[in-house]
Chain A
Amino acid sequence: MASPQATIPMTEAEGLEHGLTAEEFRHICAALGRAPNFVELGVFSVMWSEHCSYKSSRVWLKTLPTQGPRVLQGPGENAGVIDIGDGLAVAFKIESHNHPSFVEPYQGAATGVGGILRDVFTMGARPVANLNSLRFGSFDHPRTRYLVNGVVAGVGGYGNCIGVPTVGGEVYFDAGYNENILVNAFTLGIVRSDRIFRACAAGVGNPVMYVGSKTGRDGIHGASLLASAEFSGEAEAKRPTVQVGDPFTEKLLLEACLELMEKDAIVAIQDMGAAGLTSSSVEMAGRGGMGIEIDLDRVPRREPGMTPYELLLSESQERMVLVARAGAEDVVRDVFAKWDLDAVVIGQVTDDGLLRVVCDREVVARIPITALTDEAPAYRRPAAPPADFEARQELPLGDVPLPSDCNAALLTLLDAPNLASKAWVYGQYDFLVRGNTVVQPGSDAAVIRVKGTHKGIALSVDCNSRYCLLDPYVGAMIAVVEGARNVVCAGATPLGVTDCLNFGNPEKPAVMWQFAEAVRGIRDACVALDVPVVSGNVSFYNETEGKPIPPTPTIAMVGLLDHIEHHTTQWFKADGDVIVLLGRTREELGASEYLAVVHGQVRGAPPWIDLKVERRVQRLCLSAIAEGLVRSAHDVGEGGLAVALAECCIGAPGPGLGAVIELEGPIRADALLFGESQSRILLSLRRRHLGRLRDLAGAADVPLTVLGEVRGHRLVITPFIDLELDRVRQAWTNALPRRLAG
């Protein structure tokens, strides 16, 4: 009996309802030589959605540097892979889960973590570290506390249960995210460099197998509807499109997949993420230049009566599709049975280049694979800077009054949510499981050791979206160099980047311009620092009621320590150590946290950046650490020198160590204390090493200033600041608990 879903041709009006344009609908009809049926229209709508097709971003992403001698896998697979020697490699990726997390914070964030974990273990890598970048609205907004609590609990709920440590991240608060929070989740895994698995179907007749959880009706059109369109104030109504996570099942899936990968049974494997069974099977076939046939009657399901459309588009979590070697089906079944999971053959690889879907012995979809992948639309959308771009960059310093009390200004900054201690957040995450965490959350970068080697991996995730709002090109460059500087301060050489590009509606020229400028900034910075972008994710349509978020190109940076004993943290280690500053402090306050928090202004140009200078500073810091000269290293970032010094004093567990500093310079006091000049690193070292460091700095052409020394239990910055460390710590540690209590 022919189902109406398979026989009735769809019209352009129905195409529009599926989020396609009239032109895209005509394009589909041409590719098929007929109008699509309902099932096929569903398949096209998700595969051609912004989320799956990258139709607005592809032309720009191609400009990023993705190659390098260590790159084993660049963008286009489930995750990027970089060689770290000793026969090992790291696989990593970052991904957004923004709209689901705004609609349902706990499950949205949890399934974000679950999805990125699958992307990494699909490559054959054992996940060993998670990071996340979270951005919420201001605390004045009534939903912010609810969202913070839900998202943090969801990130922890998933990561803690599956047993992968959350070792670091960043948390920002800005009114620009009031109605559209960002949840970007990152996972890094370790894989043997000769055992990397890819999602590239091969071998006609090889069985296509479905493993993991059963399919239900959750998350249908999660990707195409939630992630590929703006919000319009009906978030509550969209809750059914958010998937529900089950970290326990994913733990079983993780262990089963890694166990199976030890055997010679898998040809290709891909997780079922956005657009579920559809995108996973289509993408595997597309990469291999093959066709694929799927029999929906064999798909394990949670409830009866599911239609072909629902089965193909469901985004039920904790599922994978794999192409097994013919004859190895029982090997797959046995491993999954051990872990009490389903593993069934649902189809086979074909050579006709078609996606053929059968249900009830009837073909319900028949689409050329290339129509869904290579021939998906790609747009070079119009781009133009916002009208007020130049006006907002103006900042006559004469209009900014000097603070009358620098002690008070520093305490105000340390109490500001963006600068305050994030212990309230990371204290809810298991950052220890797997027994590799050498530098715990709270320093510039987290460091994990690589078991069986002397090596370590440093990890950081960064973006200052205020910089990006005021100048997306410079802001994106700074996101890259700051990430690199953070891993350098931990003693690691930057290896590679994964980026999560969160922007508003790309159909608006101003947003498209922000995107293009940000990609240009990432490119220039990555080229200058010689770090490739090996994976990433684009999230557009982060707007509500027509108001876009600040452009937020989040950069996750991965660095390598050849010797784990070189790992360095940001806090002071011993009384009497000398404190020095590498780099130059300029008279600039534009786009700073100080200007926003103390003066309530978001304007001015972001700090000046010279990539050549940046590179020199980073190289000097690394060689000083490698020579064993450095006891602590800290990137000078938001809040400037005064905040960085305070963090060096109080960041570590225990009572902390004071500092006695003398600051002078021909520039304004507030720029000296709180300005955010780039390419600066604070070091502390034994006095006897100062001569050697000066020599290195001289040879590297990097300015070095001796600021003072580690001493006592006060933070003294003559002639501006003199505070008891306890007061400094209280302001910094109580800021978030105070706002989130209750």
Chain B
Amino acid sequence: MRWGVVTFPGSNDDHDTQYVLEHVLGEDAVSLWHKDRDLQGVECVVLPGGFSYGDYLRCGAMARFSPIMESVIAFARAGGLVWGICNGFQVLCEAGLLPGALIRNRGLRFVCGQVHLRLETTDTPFTGRCARGEVLTLPIKHGEGCYVADPVTLERLEENRQVVLRYVDASGRATAGANPNGSLNNIAGVVNEQRNVFGLMPHPEHASEKVLGGEDGLKLFRSVIAAHREGGDRRTAAVAPGH
């Protein structure tokens, strides 16, 4: 399938995501420049990690106004697959494509390291190849990854099974000690109601090769490829430029 990885000024993991898509998975992946509006017919848009526009304002607050995001928002509203990783998750929340917000880590420091995550739902195009309750090991690296939402939103997220990943300990329990950033309900990743827009703080692209210490991230990428093949989400980026 055809993937697009957006490069905002300050994106850092765009190269790494594209590398995994092309060199590990053999997918067709194009780079999408923030000043363009053309999504080049891609079937899944990835908003990568990094510090878009320096993130001197709230993380992602500038990026949502970039020309490419106009097209990404339209693409998502039309049912296209959009996947935000770390800074990309922050951008999706700022853009209103996902509920909630990501604020400064409870510990007030940047945290980098491996975390355990419990997979809460396989009913998304991003997790169809995983098992419910499965514990994945992925790295995090962020300073603003504390997921918050108002109580009503939070309740709805849980009811609709929109919480995709939760921080847990090695045995799969969502304890306070396993929560690296203070996220409410230990939330690490959520999907929108239509289940075509997914955001998560951990980095699947940094857990996609054995030589780098793990391959759990591939389960998410392969889920998208499988969902696409099965024709569940075949909408492509058929949104007119400038829309």
Measuring CB to CB, which residues of chain A are less than 8 angstroms from any residue of chain B?
153, 156-157, 160-163, 246-249, 251-252, 339-340, 426-438, 440, 449, 451, 564-565, 653
Q: Are B141 and A432 in contact (CB under 8 A)?
A: yes
Q: Are A432 and B139 in contact (CB under 8 A)?
A: yes
Please give me the 6 A-B residue pairs with the lowest Cβ-Cβ distance, nearest first. Answer: A248-B54, A163-B12, A435-B16, A430-B141, A161-B51, A432-B206
Q: How far is the CB of B55 from chain A (nearest CB, A)?
A: 8
CB pairs A–B below 8 angstroms (5 shown): A163-B13, A248-B54, A432-B203, A449-B211, A565-B211
Q: Are B112 and A428 in contact (CB under 8 A)?
A: yes
Taken together as a complex, chains A and B put the C-alpha atoms of A228 and B141 apart, in Å, by: 38
Q: How far is the CB of A463 from chain B (nearest CB, A)?
A: 25
Q: Are B54 and A161 in contact (CB under 8 A)?
A: yes
Q: How far is the CB of A739 from chain B (nearest CB, A)?
A: 15
Taken together as a complex, chains A and B put the C-alpha atoms of A246 and B141 apart, in Å, by: 20
- Residue of A157, A251, A433, A434 with most chain B CB atoms under a 10 A cut-off: A433
Taken together as a complex, chains A and B put the C-alpha atoms of A51 and B209 apart, in Å, by: 44
Which residues on B sit within 8 Å (CB–CB) of A248? Answer: 9-10, 51, 53-56
Which residues on A sit within 8 Å (CB–CB) of B110? Answer: 153, 156-157, 160, 428-430
Q: Are A252 and B114 in contact (CB under 8 A)?
A: no
Q: How far is the CB of A470 from chain B (nearest CB, A)?
A: 36
Which residues on A sit within 8 Å (CB–CB) of B141? Answer: 160, 430, 432-433
- Considering only residues 112-130 of chain B, those with a C-beta below 8 Å from chain A are 112-114
Count of A-B contacts judged by CB separation below 8 Å: 86
Which residues on A sit within 8 Å (CB–CB) of B51? Answer: 160-161, 163, 247-248, 251
Taken together as a complex, chains A and B put the C-alpha atoms of A437 and B13 apart, in Å, by: 14
Taken together as a complex, chains A and B put the C-alpha atoms of A431 and B140 apart, in Å, by: 11
Which residues on A sit within 8 Å (CB–CB) of B112? Answer: 426-432
Which residues on B sit within 8 Å (CB–CB) of A564? Answer: 211
Q: How far is the CB of B116 from chain A (nearest CB, A)?
A: 11
Q: Are A427 and B139 in contact (CB under 8 A)?
A: no
- Which B residue's beta carbon lies closest to that of A565? B211
Interface size class of B (residues with CB under 8 A): 20 to 34
- Which B residue's beta carbon lies closest to that of A437? B212
- Which A residue's beta carbon lies closest to that of B35? A338
Known: A160-B110, A248-B9. A434 touches B16 (CB 8 A): yes
Taken together as a complex, chains A and B put the C-alpha atoms of A162 and B54 apart, in Å, by: 9
- Residue of B13, B53, B55, B114 with most chain A CB atoms under a 10 A cut-off: B13
- Considering only residues 1-50 of chain B, those with a C-beta below 8 Å from chain A are 9-13, 15-16, 19-20, 49-50
- Residue of A161, A249, A434 with most chain B CB atoms under a 10 A cut-off: A161
Taken together as a complex, chains A and B put the C-alpha atoms of A437 and B114 apart, in Å, by: 13
Q: How far is the CB of B53 from chain A (nearest CB, A)?
A: 7
A435's partner among B50, B53, B109, B206 (CB-CB below 8 A) is B206
Taken together as a complex, chains A and B put the C-alpha atoms of A489 and B110 apart, in Å, by: 30
Q: Are B212 and A251 in contact (CB under 8 A)?
A: no
Which residues on A sit within 8 Å (CB–CB) of B109? Answer: 153, 428
Which residues on B sit within 8 Å (CB–CB) of A434? Answer: 12, 15-16
Q: How far is the CB of B223 from chain A (nearest CB, A)?
A: 20
Taken together as a complex, chains A and B put the C-alpha atoms of A247 and B10 apart, in Å, by: 9
Interface flag for B220 (CB, 8 Å): no
- Considering only residues 191-227 of chain B, those with a C-beta below 8 Å from chain A are 203, 205-206, 209, 211-213
Q: How far is the CB of A437 from chain B (nearest CB, A)?
A: 7
- Which A residue's beta carbon lies closest to that of B209? A435
Q: Are B113 and A435 in contact (CB under 8 A)?
A: no
Taken together as a complex, chains A and B put the C-alpha atoms of A653 and B212 apart, in Å, by: 15
Q: Are A433 and B211 in contact (CB under 8 A)?
A: no
- Which B residue's beta carbon lies closest to that of A160? B110
Taken together as a complex, chains A and B put the C-alpha atoms of A160 and B145 apart, in Å, by: 14
Q: Are B9 and A451 in contact (CB under 8 A)?
A: no
Which residues on B sit within 8 Å (CB–CB) of A440? Answer: 213
